[in-house]
Amino acid sequence: MIRNVIITAFIGAALASCANDSPEHNEALQVECYSRSANEKKVVEDFGMYVLTSSGTAYPGVSNPVHVTYQSPGWNFSPILLSEDAQIYSFSPYTETTDCSALNINLNNQTDYLASAAISASKSNPSISITMKHILSKINVTIDGSSSCQVKLLNVPNAATYNLKNDKLTVGGSGNITTSSSSVLICPASSQVLKMNITYNGKEYDYTAASKTYEAGKEYGYDLTISDSKELVINGDVTITDWEQAGDYEGTVNEK
């Protein structure tokens, strides 16, 4: 079962006066953003929205990206008034990059980047429901059943650009990805060899995973054991599971 990040947002339309072309009333966008797990609900603190016309050009009166932040007791962002049909894209975490076709992705900071496809909105249909997905892949490593290890990946893609309009990630530079965790976010790839340097119980081990396909939004489990020759080997199959749901986002419209 595929689990995605869900955002529900309501965007209000401004109705123009025939006499002076000024709004009769405004309906303000209000958003609540949470990350949910089995036992807790955690506020997601920021994301960005790109509001474009139906032809993909800059939307009148909107400065993209629209920065949505949480500050108790609610969310803060610039008002969005719909004067014509709109296409809305969302990306997390927020970035100041104005061109949503070239968003920078840095694997060294191990950020869980999320994105959504275009959602249509209009004055007659101002409420939208946005589904965001993970755009990276994830590997989880255990040694003898323990996740108390640190994984370093050698000579893998560690930078990319992401086109929010066509959901395409283009790999840039390569290098090592060093983490203090047993889980590592990586670029999706149709064929990727993973060379790992793993620290476990104060000792270092090397392991090379054969070339595999890694899909966006999927996590791959490597269950390793230490052999009699003190080399790491795979115990059983490499498992592939869907990423757990990362968050729910809901919103309501208040008329002013």
Q: Is 140 exposed, middle or buried (0-12, 13-18, 19+ CB in 10 A)?
A: middle
CA separation for the pair 192, 113 (Å, rounded)? 20
List Cα–Cα distances, 160 to 37, 58, 61, 133, in angstroms. 29, 25, 31, 17
Q: Residue 109 in 3-state DSSP?
A: helix
Low-confidence ranges of the chain (pLDDT < 70): 1-45, 70, 73-75, 129-130, 228-256
Position 84 scores a pLDDT of 86
The pLDDT tens digits of the residues spanning 171-222 come to 999 999 999 999 999 999 999 999 999 999 998 888 888 898 999 988 898 8
Position 78 scores a pLDDT of 81
Neighbours of 179 (CB within 10 A): 14
Position 168 scores a pLDDT of 96
Q: What are phi and psi of 87, to 5 degrees?
A: -115, 125
